[in-house]
Structure 1
């Protein structure tokens, strides 16, 4: 009988440490901070066999949206220039904005939906989310869709 493939979103606090280390080793290789798998596994403290056993099955939540389009929803305070600041942050990391929809502010809060291509981005989706969330006046940010 064929085994079904399924995915789970699990808080990293409950994952075995080896999974976190595999993800870190993959990141080191991707960013070219190390040259070989051996260097990567030595740096994070796991065996090569552990790396190869899990490398195709463990990845950060945001990694699978790399190279595609992503739609995010943002709640913004009604402040002059705030949306422009958010768009500048997206542009600064290479996000290619496809669409922007903004509601009329209600109770001084505007809802904005942005769809962008993530392929040209020089940062990961998580870094984008962290940067946008750190902007003063951004009240809420979430991913609505990934393609």
Structure 2
């Protein structure tokens, strides 16, 4: 039986309007056309709470992710070998690690930010994230940045 990744591919017309507006708000913020979430939300007619509720859960799907960089952020318990596990997982999926930033652990938990580049041989990034999230000691993985590197 195949593992449930928690991700679905659906047609745009089936996506509730509020979610599409959250995607648009994120684009406005990333492009610098607006400076604040409040501005983007008002412009698009959604509440700030809707933006914050869904911002980490919806992204546009791109047929080809090759040449794209992703920044993954997550919290991780301060345990021997856990960061090594994450780095090996990324390597096993064939992505190129560009940067790694780790905070000093507070109360046994560190904040991690890893920027990866998707290559021709890179396997399914969403599956990799799902495996990361399933590992004990790793807390919710977020894609906080994504850009094309042509």
- Normalised by the length of structure 1, the TM-score is 0.56
Q: What is the CA RMSD across the aligned residues, in angstroms?
A: 2.7
Counterparts in 2 of 1:93 and 1:78: CA distance versus 1, 3 Å: same
Q: Which residue is 1:87 aligned to? A: 87
Residue 131 of structure 1: how far off its partner (Å): 1.4
Question: Could you report, residue by residue, the CA deviation over 1:88-121 in whole angstroms, capped at 9, with x for unpaired residues?
Answer: 0000010100000000001111001000101244
Counterparts in 2 of 1:62 and 1:89: CA distance versus 1, 3 Å: farther
Q: Which residue is 2:142 aligned to? A: 142
1:66 aligns with 2:65: yes
The unaligned stretches of length 5 or more in structure 2 are 1-7, 16-58
Q: Which residue is 2:99 aligned to? A: 99
The unaligned stretches of length 5 or more in structure 1 are 1-9, 17-59
- Normalised by the length of structure 2, the TM-score is 0.55
Residue 132 of structure 1: how far off its partner (Å): 1.1
Aligned residues: 95
Query: Runs of 4+ in structure 1 displaced over 6 angstroms?
Result: none
CA distance in 2 between counterparts of 1:101 and 1:83 reads 11
Q: Which residue is 1:41 aligned to? A: none
Question: Could you report, residue by residue, the CA deviation over 1:50-102 in whole angstroms, capped at 9, with x for unpaired residues?
Answer: xxxxxxxxxx8454671111101011011111000011000001010000000
